[in-house]
A and B are shown apart, each in its own frame.
Chain A
Amino acid sequence: MYSFDYERPSGVNEAASAIGEDDKFLAGGQTLIPTLKLRLAQPGKLVDLSGISELKGISVNGSELSVGAMTRHVDVADSADVKSAIPALAQLASHIGDAQVRNRGTIGGSISNNDPAADYPAALVGLGATVHTNKRSISAEDFFVDLFETALEDGELVTKVTFPIPEKAGYAKFPNPASRFALTGVFVAKTASGVRVAVTGAGPCVFRQTDMEAALSSNFSPDAVSGIKTEASGLNADIHASADYRANLITVMAARAVKAAS
């Protein structure tokens, strides 16, 4: 690890003004710290967000669930509010990484990193969530731009995520056997504004499977999607799985997510 400066502000505005061009926000550190240890990043300063209490916490306001950016995966997984409002979200959080990752990793850190195989992007896009920053609100679909790329501008900081509470939702993940990231994960939600199907792990960035959304809108059952294929071209291919296999998994996981939806 290269040496760097370190700051731990107690407020969002303080954090935003502390960050410079070569600096990094430190959330749960579950990607950033290993990257630093391997000397693959050399920030001038880490601005640690763990001292900002307003970034933490879960609340339900009418038809909306709000999760603070520095809320850990384990807190989402164990939250009675989340389990009651969106059980699929609690279940998703309970399967991120391993216990150590869930005890440190945060929703804000995860979505800001936008790893193509992360779980949360599927939930945000699948539920039509809104990402709130210190500057603005961004729809989930606009937030996730491309591989490890988000709509965040320099110095912009995620403060919370708000999820519209769906009629029902389900998430099915096929974990990479080694890393346990999503080789392919599909989040399905039946919401007031229609059915949404979001796929993570299979492509360079989370995306909506609109053929499946159309089929499920008229018949919300596993059978409705089990015959719908996804074009393999453009999907990820690596030592763990080919694009063809990932395309197959989208179909299989979508059907399982629908079956699991509650």
Chain B
Amino acid sequence: MLHEPAVQAGKDPAFPFKRKLGVRLFCVYALVYAAFIAINVIKPQIMETIVLGGLNLAVIYGFGLILFALILALIYSSICSRRERSLAESKGA
């Protein structure tokens, strides 16, 4: 017996597009995150460099990773919603 979702979702024509976009944005973030780890293990002293307003690279990069995640998430959602709308409209037309 197969498991049915709690709430049945209809076909989603935007799914392949969203999946591809998700993977690309994931790769972008993973690269920035990997660079953060790399700096910390290769030359952690760089993290002491004062970058902006007396704040060092460690703080700026750390906060940056948190904010970057939110920015990418908003971009992703906005593009996905636009694609879902346009596909729904073209189907309706």
Do these two chains really belong together in a complex? no
B contact residues vs A (CB 8 Å cutoff): none
